[in-house]
Amino acid sequence: MQDVIVGKYRLSKTENFDAFLAEIGLGYIKRKLAQSTSPEITITRDGDRWTMVTSSALSTSDVSFTLGEAFPEERQDGVSVTSRVTADGNTWTQTQKPGDGRDVTIVREFGDTELKVTSTIGSVTAHRVYERI
């Protein structure tokens, strides 16, 4: 699993991300700022521990976790959640549970040349594609 997942990725395509950000409660100005950047994601592994760093001109966030175990996370919108990432082959499914019950599911599909990310809250789904760099 490590060979396909570990690496660095840069955003290349996005679809319905504004609607997704609005649904999680991000205001108009912050949504426009978030969409004005091309974030990079760097994923590393140390034994059973994974680290995922997302950086853009506006901010950097990083999370470290073990697959299948719950961990605290502060989303980039500032909301504290309990997250869990599970793996099925080269696909990671992350569930973020904030205190308000409006769970977010993020599915990351790792391929040889790209990372496809599908983020869902309620009935709103956004798709983003990151190219391996």
All domains of the chain in start order, with CATH? 7-132 (2.40.128.20)
pLDDT of 54 reads 94
Look at residues 59, 106, 46, 60 and name the one whose alpha carbon lies nearest to residue 81: 106
Query: Confidence class of residue 2 from pLDDT cuts 50, 70 and 90?
Result: low
pLDDT of 104 reads 97
Residue with tokens 């599908």: 118
- The per-residue pLDDT of the chain, averaged, comes to 93
Average pLDDT on 90-111 reads 95
pLDDT of 57 reads 80
Q: Three-class SS string for 49-108?
A: EEEEEEECCCCEEEEEEECCCCEEEECCCCCEEEEEEEEECCEEEEEEEECCCCCEEEEE
Q: Residue 1 pLDDT more than 80?
A: no
Q: Which amino acid is at 120?
A: T
CB contact at 8 A, 97 and 105 = no
Secondary structure (3-state) at 2: helix
Query: Confidence class of residue 53 from pLDDT cuts 50, 70 and 90?
Result: very high
Which has the minimum average pLDDT: 43-47, 99-103, 114-118?
99-103
Average pLDDT on 62-78 reads 92
Percent of the chain beyond pLDDT 70?
98
The number of beta carbons lying within 10 Å of the beta carbon of residue 22 is 14
Q: How far apart are CA 132 and CA 96, in angstroms?
A: 25
pLDDT of 37 reads 85
pTM for the predicted model, two decimal places: 0.93
The number of beta carbons lying within 10 Å of the beta carbon of residue 4 is 13
